[in-house]
Amino acid sequence: MDVKIGDLVETKKKHPCGSVTWVVIRTGMDIKMKCQGCGRIVMLDREKFEKRVKRILETNETKET
């Protein structure tokens, strides 16, 4: 999965706050993302991240153009 900083992703399960949308704030071997509902920051390894993400809603390139 090709994920970049600033991408908006949707997870399969809801966060306890009720939100399913997250913004990617760091990439590499681990992915750090911020919940759009409550602002909590979570870091997952790439394997867990790819299992939990349903789809990429908006990419960083989409926002710039």
pLDDT tens profile 9-64:
999 999 999 999 999 999 999 999 999 999 999 999 999 999 999 999 988 775 55
In terms of Cα–Cα distance, which of 63, 13, 17 is closest to 38? 17
Say if residues 24 and 9 touch (Cβ distance below 8 Å): yes
Name the pTM for this structure.
Answer: 0.85
For 24, the token pair is 């990617």
Cβ burial of 24 (10 Å; 0-12, 13-18, 19+) is buried
For 12, the token pair is 């399969």
Radius of gyration of the chain (CA): 11
